[in-house]
């Protein structure tokens, strides 16, 4: 069977073909480099976690999803107690190692569709997609145990404060959500080192979407947990209730500024 003969190409045509192929290859490599540069621009170089901009984008997407489907979500803000002392006494390289270990812990113990990243300095933020108040407590304490495993075994003097806020029908923007989580974390710090504080934030009215904006929050369920005193075992009289098993009798209410109210 005779093969079809390829047409002879003139020298000028060969040159144009070679240039076209080279241009395609160059554009493909350029595209790959741009994609990689965009990825790296969203990654914290020290911890390998998403950086602040990536966290903001994730939080904005979660806010949009929460409004559209009327689903809750939670934010967890983590800040180290006494981290400055580590830098001052043992050097910044040791402090960097602590932050890297936090990064490993958060990567390995968060769900693929959550976003755990470095907010700045020694602060970390975790966006917990479609997580309500009860699940937020369980996840927060699991993260605390994991971080202890990676960090506190070699740095026993270190501890951290954790503020966890669950947002339900909250018509807020992302700065307001972060500010709320940050205030909750600092409220935990005021109770003493190595504490976790939980809050549930929602709007007044049976139909929050019709509430005037900005609307004042309702009284917020809150608790402060000292992990050393937490009892999840059978000795806890509330063990059959997942929420009460974690927070015991520590629940109280707070005003719109996150301060405890008289019970």
pLDDT band of residue 21 (cuts 50, 70, 90) is confident
Report the pLDDT value the prediction gives residue 102, as an integer from 0 to 100.
Answer: 93
pLDDT digits (tens, 9 = 90+) for 90-140: 999 999 999 999 999 999 999 999 999 999 999 999 999 999 999 999 999
Report the pLDDT value the prediction gives residue 217, as an integer from 0 to 100.
Answer: 37
Average pLDDT on 231-238 reads: 36
Report the pLDDT value the prediction gives residue 173, as an integer from 0 to 100.
Answer: 93
Question: Who's near 234: CB < 8 A, 6+ residues apart?
Answer: none
195 closest CA partner among 74, 73, 79: 79
Report the pLDDT value the prediction gives residue 14, as an integer from 0 to 100.
Answer: 76
Average pLDDT on 76-81 reads: 94
To the nearest whole number, what is the mean pLDDT of the chain? 77
Q: Is the peptide bond before 214 cis (omega within 30 degrees of 0)?
A: yes
- Specify the CATH number for 48-254; select among 3.30.70.270, 3.60.150.10, 3.30.360.10, 3.40.50.1220: 3.30.70.270
Domain ranges in the chain are 12-41, 48-254
pLDDT of 251 above 60: no
For helices 92-108 and 83-90, what crossing angle results, to 10°?
140
Report the pLDDT value the prediction gives residue 4, as an integer from 0 to 100.
Answer: 53
pLDDT digits (tens, 9 = 90+) for 2-15: 555 545 656 777 77
Average pLDDT on 174-196 reads: 94
Question: Who's near 138: CB < 8 A, 6+ residues apart?
Answer: 242, 246
Average pLDDT on 20-41 reads: 75
Average pLDDT on 180-186 reads: 96
- For the chain, the first-to-last Cα distance in angstroms comes to 96
Share of the chain above pLDDT 90, in %: 47
> Strands 159-168 and 196-202: what pairing?
parallel
Report the pLDDT value the prediction gives residue 40, as an integer from 0 to 100.
Answer: 60
Report the pLDDT value the prediction gives residue 208, as an integer from 0 to 100.
Answer: 34
Report the pLDDT value the prediction gives residue 169, as an integer from 0 to 100.
Answer: 82
pLDDT band of residue 50 (cuts 50, 70, 90) is very high
Average pLDDT on 196-223 reads: 51
Report the pLDDT value the prediction gives residue 3, as an integer from 0 to 100.
Answer: 56
- Does 208 or 151 have the greater pLDDT score? 151
Q: Which of 4-8, 40-44, 152-156 has the lowest mean pLDDT?
A: 4-8
Which tokens is 241 given?
Answer: 């209730």
pLDDT band of residue 22 (cuts 50, 70, 90) is confident
> In Å, how far are 57, 119, 169, 176, 258 from 64, measured between CA atoms?
11, 21, 11, 14, 25
139 closest CA partner among 246, 60, 67, 54: 246
Q: How far apart are alpha carbons 201 and 134 in whole angstroms?
A: 13
Report the pLDDT value the prediction gives residue 153, as an integer from 0 to 100.
Answer: 79
Q: Is the peptide bond before 115 cis (omega within 30 degrees of 0)?
A: no
Report the pLDDT value the prediction gives residue 203, as an integer from 0 to 100.
Answer: 66
């Amino acid at each position: 069977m005779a093969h079809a003969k390829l047409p002879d190409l003139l020298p000028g045509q060969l040159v144009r073909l070679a240039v076209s192929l080279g241009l395609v290859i160059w554009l493909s490599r350029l595209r790959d480099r741009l994609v990689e540069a965009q990825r790296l621009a969203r990654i914290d170089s020290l911890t390998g976690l998403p950086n602040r901009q990536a966290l903001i984008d994730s939080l904005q997407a979660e806010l949009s999803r929460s409004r559209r489907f009327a689903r809750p979500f939670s934010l967890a803000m983590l800040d180290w107690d006494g981290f400055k002392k580590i830098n001052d006494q043992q050097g910044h390289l040791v402090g960097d190692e602590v932050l890297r270990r936090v990064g490993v812990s958060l990567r390995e113990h968060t769900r693929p569709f959550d976003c755990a990243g470095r907010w700045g300095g020694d602060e970390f933020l975790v966006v917990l997609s479609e997580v309500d108040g009860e699940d937020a407590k369980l996840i927060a304490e699991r993260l605390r145990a994991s971080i202890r495993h990676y960090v506190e075994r070699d740095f026993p003097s270190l501890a951290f404060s954790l503020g966890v806020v669950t947002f339900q029908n909250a018509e807020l923007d992302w700065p307001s959500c972060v500010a709320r989580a940050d205030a909750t974390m600092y409220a935990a710090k005021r109770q003493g080192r190595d504490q976790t504080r939980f809050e549930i934030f929602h709007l007044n009215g049976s139909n929050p979407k019709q509430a005037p904006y900005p609307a004042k929050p309702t009284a917020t369920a809150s608790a402060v947990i000292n992990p050393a005193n937490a009892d999840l075992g059978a000795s806890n009289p509330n063990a059959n209730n997942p929420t009460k098993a974690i927070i015991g009798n520590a629940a109280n209410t707070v005003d719109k500024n996150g301060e405890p109210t008289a019970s």
